[in-house]
Structure 1
Amino acid sequence: MDEARIETLSVHGGERRPGPEGSVVYPIYQSTVYSVPSDTDYHDIKYIRLNSTPSQAYLHDKLAALEGAEAALATASGLAAISTALHSVLRTGDHLLVGDCLYGGTHDFLTHHAADFGWRYTFIDPQRPETWEAARTPSTRAILVESITNPLVRVGRLGEVAELARRNGLVSLIDNTFATPVNFRPTAAGFDLSLHSATKYLNGHSDIVAGAIIGRAEHVERARTTSNHFGGSLDPHAGFLLARGLKTLALRVRTQNENALALAEFLAAQPKIREVNYPGLASHPDHAHAAELFDGFGGMLSIRPTGGVEAARALIDAVRLPYDAPSLGGVESLITRPVATSHAGMSRADRESLGITDDLVRISIGIEHRDDLIADFAQALAKL
């Protein structure tokens, strides 16, 4: 399977052949406890909280196969993946370099709790490698960025991030939720750990909450030990649904890539839209290096209509296909204002310094037909 393409890996990666009792679909092992030899190491006891049951091992193998990584760990949420990974690499007194435009939950976790753990951090601009060395300190231990930022869909100099980490002995972490393994595989790019809100694209059906930590075995094992102590494991039934969702990942994301590009091109030509943020557009400031890094530009875009926040609200009310709802990555299109949902926990000053303004509208593109999506936005814009 090492040479298989992502479409094949999504279906067959990590599978047991044959499965238990000859099954094609791997079953749910709902049992909490298992009989084990008395001399078994604590972390190898088969127990759901210890991330060691047959259902969990199966899911971990599938997740690792998707990114060509050595190991993986499923967690109870995307933020559990991020917080667990950070706790596994940082100690009291350590310093973190972190991209300045983050998912609101990650930003809030750091700004509200890092000091409680004795961590220090410095926000860096992922587009400006020449500024990173000045931000590094003797106590810097790790660097965290997003492959495509939420919600401004910028793409940092990811190759340079991984190189900075290698050169200075830092652990490199990347939130790969927006790009997905279909468009970008961090392990191949030199990152130590790839993090996901599996609630989003990996599952793809807006019906579970889960996270994933994928990457080098030594780092994943350290994260598993941390997770075992914190108790953020994933329930076997949710894991079953995630494994099922993974099998259609490549098909869904390819369609979402195509739909997002088509809609972005349409919106960029509309006089009632003053800004379209999508790295697949040649006008996007990161388009050139994103095209070198990625196999596709993702299903997320953000826009600003002319007319300010009232126009943004009116547009959300006028569209018929996208749901007015937070989250992203499902088969259905979603539309929201980040200031009211994903980034509501940030202060206004922090949001505005990054360009997350009240009139910014984020759109998660689903797998509907692109012509229907374009027609829907056309009728909505006609009402503004």
Structure 2
Amino acid sequence: MSEQSYKKDLQGKELSPETLMMSYGYDPKLSEGSIKPPVFLTSTFVFKTAQEGKDFFNLVSGRTQTSENHKQGLVYSRFNHPNSEIVEDRLALYEGAESAALFSSGMSAITTCLMAVLQPGDVLLHSQPLYGGTETLFLNTLARFGITSVPFQNGYEQESILDVAKRIEKGKKVAAIYIETPSNPLNTLVDIELISQVAKQISTNQNGQIPLVICDNTLLGPVFQKPLSLGADLSVYSLTKYVGGHSDLVAGAVVGSQELVKKVKAQRNAIGTQLDPHSSWMLGRSLETLQLRMERANESAKILAEYLHQHPKVSKVHFPAFFPEGSVEHQVYQKQCTGAGSTFSINVGSNEADAFRFLDNLAIFKLAVSLGGTESLASHPASTTHSGVAQKVREHIGISDNLVRLSIGIENVNDLKYALELALEAI
């Protein structure tokens, strides 16, 4: 791409991400003047010379470094392709990062990232609750490769987390701290800056080796939360959710420094978890409206959460903006979030039967898993997304049988409110 397509300013004035999502990293002159990038449906790319082929392979394999004389080129679509590179550049820009890598799903992003930075015998310290798929990956899959996962529940008390770390078997190294904030589905928060400090403290007991801080930023990012600016080393996403935003693709991403993302991309190249050109193109389309969609859904979610908070058949609304003023949770929310997002859970009635009756009578909302789409969704975490999590763990972290998760879309908020009202009457 031309240097002009990577300009971030206009005569010295820095442009906002919303503006740059329309054009950054793409030059129409190189594609017959097409205002949008074409979908590059090819498996392989032609080299100009044999030497260029050798140079590109040395770069993509990490044997040589990118420089003025050696610039990365296109080789094979498992390694890179124009559609993924455009979106990677734009996503990194949105979060203020140096680099990004796309993946075939959020879980493939998490798995590839951890494979790149962990070794057998390492310890992965992680917040809890987590998305059910992540919890299952840590407990079942990583354990088979000799990686021990150790959870902590209190994400804003330093001593509590350090106490958990102290109980780790002597001689074992905490290689990474993985956090999900807000958590899915309970919206519990983890203090990202605090975790960065905890990582440094842990390093004093393991020969100065600082654990990497990896943050799942799916629920708020990159619009309402930027973990890298708060001390995280890597930010991971299910792009299927808000960034994709239309429930029509599955994708993931890892965002961070050039050095760390290069390691992750090398692992991606080895195991083939790259995202395809068409899904990459669709993500590029979605990034153009990301701010609009997330802000609209955020506004509607606040109105609906306040309505449900007052309803006698709803015992609790798990919404970040409802943390009591002056509480530690509220302070963390004010410090690191610029919005509450539009996915939250409610405790409705007293048991599974009440939750199911509510869901079966809920109009407009689609009864489906996932979140972050233009349409509103409702689901029952205990029997779906978190059904693979042991019941004892579910009960401990608050995923009860009467918990319902709502993902608020961009429909008319009064219509959604009326649909909720009718469903609650059925209990």
Q: TM-score, normalised by structure 1?
A: 0.95
Q: Which residue of 2 aligns with 1:39?
A: 54
Deviation at 1:173, TM superposition (A): 0.4
Q: Which residue of 1 aligns with 2:136?
A: 108
- Structure-2 change in CA distance of 1:154 and 1:9 (3 Å): farther
- Which shows bigger deviation, 19-28 or 180-189? 19-28
Q: What is the identity, as a one-letter code, of the residue corresponding to 1:276?
A: V
Q: Equivalent residue of 1:11, what SS?
A: coil
Q: Which residue of 1 aligns with 2:265?
A: 224
- The one-character-per-residue Cα deviations of 1:240-286 (angstroms, maximum 9, x if unpaired) are 11111111100000011111111110000000111110001244862
- Structure-2 change in CA distance of 1:287 and 1:11 (3 Å): farther
* Alignment partners' CA distance in 1, 2:233 and 2:332: 21
Q: What is the identity, as a one-letter code, of the residue corresponding to 1:135?
A: V
Q: Equivalent residue of 2:248, what SS?
A: coil
Q: Does residue 1:148 correspond to 2:176, yes or no?
A: no
Specify the structure having the higher radius of gyration (Cα): 2
* Alignment partners' CA distance in 2, 1:16 and 1:117: 44
Q: Which residue of 2 aligns with 1:127?
A: 156
Q: Equivalent residue of 1:181, what SS?
A: coil
Q: Which residue of 2 aligns with 1:60?
A: 88
Q: Equivalent residue of 2:424, what SS?
A: helix
Q: What is the identity, as a one-letter code, of the residue corresponding to 1:133?
A: L
* Alignment partners' CA distance in 1, 2:386 and 2:17: 32
* Alignment partners' CA distance in 1, 2:222 and 2:236: 11
Match of 1:21 among 32, 38, 45: 32
Q: Does residue 1:260 correspond to 2:292, yes or no?
A: no
Percent of aligned pairs with the same amino acid = 35
Count of residue pairs the alignment pairs up: 383
CA contact (8 A) 2:103 2:109 kept: yes
Deviation at 1:6, TM superposition (A): 4.0
Q: Which residue of 1 aligns with 2:18?
A: 7
Match of 2:382 among 336, 339, 357: 339
- Which shows bigger deviation, 349-358 or 67-76? 349-358
- Which shows bigger deviation, 314-323 or 282-291? 282-291
Q: What is the identity, as a one-letter code, of the residue corresponding to 2:41?
A: Q
Q: Which residue of 2 aligns with 1:191?
A: 232
Q: Which residue of 2 aligns with 1:85?
A: 113
Q: Does residue 1:213 correspond to 2:254, yes or no?
A: yes
Deviation at 1:163, TM superposition (A): 2.7
Q: Does residue 1:161 correspond to 2:204, yes or no?
A: no
Deviation at 1:162, TM superposition (A): 2.2
- Structure-2 change in CA distance of 1:11 and 1:262 (3 Å): farther
CA contact (8 A) 2:317 2:347 kept: yes
Structure 1, unmatched stretches of 5+, are none
Deviation at 1:38, TM superposition (A): 3.5
CA contact (8 A) 2:28 2:37 kept: no
Q: Equivalent residue of 2:32, what SS?
A: helix
- Structure-2 change in CA distance of 1:262 and 1:14 (3 Å): farther
Taking the TM superposition and a 5 Å limit, the aligned residue runs for 1:287-326 are: 287-326=330-369
Q: Does residue 1:242 correspond to 2:283, yes or no?
A: yes
Q: Equivalent residue of 2:46, what SS?
A: coil
